[in-house]
Amino acid sequence: MTLSAKITVITALLGFSGVTVAAPSIDLVSNETPIHSAPSPEAIAKIPPNFHFVEPGVLTVAISVLGGSPPFGFFARDNKTVIGSEADTARLIADGLGLKLKLVPASWEDWPLGITAGKYDAAIFNIAVTKARKTKFDFATYRHADLAFYVKSTSKITSINSAPEVAGKRIIVGSGTNQEAVLLSWDKENKAKGLPPVQFQYVTDEAAATLSLQSGRSDATFGPNEISAYKAKLNGNIKLVGLVPGGWTKTADVGVATKKGNGLVDAVQTSLNSAIASGTYLQMLDRWGITDDKIDKSEVNPAGLGD
């Protein structure tokens, strides 16, 4: 099976194929049209003197396509143009810096080495800011990283915002993730109080999670709000019943990653703040159904997980 064929199958299973779905709130065809922001003289002035971009006049950004899920990054109807909230974010930054944009689909394992080796100017990969990552990269934040509980739209569950509310429930969660750590902690609290244990359900991909929830084999999913919020706005088959801000009680905003100490991060931050001020940033989030994760301003290397 070809790469484009795999993507078509995956998107069809999840219910967000740009070709076949008539979405009530998200227009995937319209969303293929780029949102542009005006150049920011202040951001341009913060590009370090004699800074060497991978390509002169171009911002080269590593971005996830298959490694992530809509609305972050996926292929348009031509199966080659990358669209999504991460692609839009990269474009707003490049516009503010007065640069052209080159998006390079990459794997999660590739972006750190690629930035260090000068293969990419930046990476936009839904990368949470952490203490460990800040030792090797600089970050300019562009979105909150809330975790969320979603249930089937017809579910009688109306709230999951605390440990007792997960007791005994069948919950889909990713192995080795921040959300699993939250759920494990809550489950430990519940067991100490004699409450029923959580039934952890690990699935291989978003398609399997969707099928399990809709078929009634699972009570809820727990993961990044952006992915589920997108699906909820797209087809209305699931609903939000609880948010865990910042990946629990810790700050977990996501940021644009740049090479440590090369000075580009300040220009990126200023460009992002320009887009926030102009309204193009909020327009971009809204069209992907993730306005709940907006930030009021971009920050450079804020406190993150592990701090």
State the pLDDT at residue 271: 98
State the pLDDT at residue 14: 42
State the pLDDT at residue 22: 31
State the pLDDT at residue 184: 94
> Is 69 found in the same domain as 44?
yes
State the pLDDT at residue 145: 80
Q: What are phi and psi of 273, to 5 degrees?
A: -65, -30
- Greatest Cα pair distance, the chain, in angstroms, is 64
Tell me whether residue 306 is in a domain.
no
> Is 155 found in the same domain as 224?
yes
Q: What DSSP letter does each residue of the chain carry, written as one string?
A: --HHHHHHHHHHHHT--TTT---SS--TTGGGSPP-----HHHHHTSPTT---SBTTEEEEEE-SSSS-TTSSEE-TTSSSEESHHHHHHHHHHHHTT-EEEEEE--TTHHHHHHHTTS-SEEES--B-BTTGGGTEEEEEEE---EEEEEETT-S-----SGGGGTT-EEEE-TTSHHHHHHHHHHHHHHHTTPPPPEEE--SSHHHHHHHHHHTS-SEEEEEHHHHHHHHHHH-SEEEEEEEGGGSSS---EEEEEETTSSHHHHHHHHHHHHHHHTHHHHHHHHTT-GGG--SS--BS---BT-
CATH number (domain holding residue 198): 3.40.190.10
Tell me whether residue 58 is in a domain.
yes
> Is 157 found in the same domain as 128?
no
Ranges of residues in the chain with a pLDDT under 50 are: 1-24, 247, 249
State the pLDDT at residue 23: 39
CA distance 119 to 249: 35
State the pLDDT at residue 66: 62
> Is 166 found in the same domain as 109?
no
The whole-model pTM stands at 0.78
CA distance 131 to 137: 10
Q: Which of 247, 272, 302 is the last residue of a domain?
A: 247
Domain that holds residue 201: 147-247
Contacts of 118 (CB under 8 A, 6+ apart): 54, 259
State the pLDDT at residue 251: 55
Tell me whether residue 168 is in a domain.
yes
Tell me whether residue 301 is in a domain.
no
Tens of pLDDT, residue by residue over 190-205, are 999 999 999 999 987 7
